[in-house]
Amino acid sequence: MIKHNNFKFSQSFGAEQENAPIQADDVISQIEFSDDSRLLAVGDVGGRVIMFQRKDTVLPQFSAVCEFTAHYRQFDVSRSQEVSSEILSLKFLPPTHDGQFLVTASERDVRLFKIAPHKHYKPNHNGSLLFPSIINQQLQAVPKRLYQNASNFHLNSLSVSAGGDSFLVADDFSVTQFWVQDHLNGFLLIDNQMNSLDQKMNLITTARFHPQDSNLILAGYSTGQLRLYDLRANLKQTSVTVPGVGEIQDIQVNPPNLVFARTAQYLSVYDIRNLHKPLFQNNMNPKLNFQQQHKQQSYSTVESYQPVIQKQEHETKFNIAISKDQQFWASGFYGNQIEVGNLNNDVLGWKATRILKKYKADIPGNGVGAKLLVNKGQTQLNAYGDQIQGKVEKVAFGDDVLVAASGGNLFLYGW
């Protein structure tokens, strides 16, 4: 018996035609749910953030309620480089009595916004002492803090602590902790500076707090290394190399002990108590093998042999999502493929599309054309396709909803 949710197509946003051309700034770069799954934040390469609010429907559906520009293109005079406006990270802070807050990050800066309803009043013109009446309420984003130059290089990831009072900023060479209330000072936790030109490039690609213990930090590197740091033991580390070609693109923790690491080709699952032996490895598509392009590197002798990394306008980085009930993981791949796995090593896969092809196979998700790719750890090679056009780069779980982003399109699935 396959333990999986019965996924059903619910809603989509974006171009109506398959593989329609899209402007570079309109490519979706990040998606994130609020804690109660009532709000969905979507960021793009152009620096814009669109807020969606959930409707009261049987299958989960959302409507756009707010749009604002969080980051703008800049020019770094000291390096003669243009700084991209791409939204590289979106994180909701735990809700407080002051409201809902959203942290956004671009290549250099981190910003804090308050998401709150703005009331529109109807003035009273009849001269009475009655208060003006409320016409409607609309969500709006109010800028609260700017953590300027949170990274001197290229910011790669942002992770909020378990208590929501601090967050990690990881760039190519360091991991720094910032307190939400202090936008001026950061505390350097991990320093990966190069000492000589002979040292092998090993850039930090992502870093994440453990969701239940902020003393534990997991970091991924461009050489495929996964490291666990313990702040209580003077940053004592445990290191392991994740199989697959290229860098670690994302790390997620399914508390208390499961660690998920994603490279371009593989998704690996580890026990945090023994990172040296993976519990499960999922090849996203055994029929396709993608050799990840390495970042172009040039060296600057002005900054103690510090390399200056020239990045593409938008760099493909697949993420991992963990369901609210902690029973499922999801990730995307080329060919607009969505894959969802459970803790029994069963993996379903289907294509993110508006053209639904229902299969007769009696498995969960057959309404969206899902196929059983891995059955109890055994790969079903014939179930995989060989198409590479399009890609599902970002996925996110909410309450009974899965959202996938492909180019400038959003696809929502309920169960």
Please name which of 349, 359, 354, 414 lies closest in space to residue 387, comparing C-alpha atoms.
349
322 and 358: one domain? no
388 and 267: one domain? no
The answer to whether 350 touches 371, Cβ cutoff 8 Å, is yes
207 and 343: one domain? no
According to DSSP, the β-strands at 186-191 and 204-209 are: unpaired
304 and 353: one domain? no
- Output the pTM of the full model: 0.88
Distance CA 405, CA 160 (A): 22
Tell the burial category of 79 from Cβ atoms under 10 Å away from its Cβ (0-12, 13-18, 19+).
Answer: middle
Q: What's residue 298's pLDDT? A: 38
316 and 347: one domain? no
Distance CA 189, CA 159 (A): 14
Q: What's residue 125's pLDDT? A: 63
Q: What's residue 121's pLDDT? A: 64
Residue 43 neighbours by CB distance under 10 Å: 27
Residue 369 neighbours by CB distance under 10 Å: 17
Distance CA 86, CA 398 (A): 24
Residue 30 neighbours by CB distance under 10 Å: 25
Q: Is 85 helix (H, G, I), strand (E, B) or coil?
A: coil
Give me the CATH number covering residue 264: 2.130.10.10
344 and 235: one domain? no
Q: Is 233 helix (H, G, I), strand (E, B) or coil?
A: helix
Among residues 302, 327, 352, which one ends one of the domains? 327
| Greatest Cα pair distance in the chain | 80
322 and 332: one domain? no
2 and 63: one domain? no
Give strand pairing partners of 81. 76
211 and 292: one domain? yes
Distance CA 328, CA 413 (A): 14
265 and 129: one domain? yes
Q: What's the total number of domains in the chain?
A: 2
Distance CA 314, CA 303 (A): 26
Q: Is 361 helix (H, G, I), strand (E, B) or coil?
A: coil
Mean pLDDT by 10 residues, the chain (415 residues): 83 81 91 96 96 92 94 80 90 88 94 85 63 70 89 90 94 93 91 65 92 94 92 82 80 95 94 91 89 44 42 81 96 96 93 79 82 91 89 96 95 94
218 and 247: one domain? yes
Among residues 306, 327, 348, which one ends one of the domains? 327
The answer to whether 7 touches 372, Cβ cutoff 8 Å, is no
381: left (phi over 0), alpha (psi -120 to 50) or beta: alpha
Q: What's residue 135's pLDDT? A: 61
Q: What's residue 314's pLDDT? A: 76
Distance CA 228, CA 209 (A): 10
Q: What's residue 86's pLDDT? A: 94
Please name which of 9, 10, 54, 16 lies closest in space to residue 408, comparing C-alpha atoms.
16
Among residues 327, 346, 373, which one ends one of the domains? 327
Residue 246 domain boundaries? 27-327
311 and 373: one domain? no
Question: How big, in percent rounded to 5, are the helix, strand and coil portions of the chain?
Answer: 5, 50, 50
Distance CA 188, CA 171 (A): 11
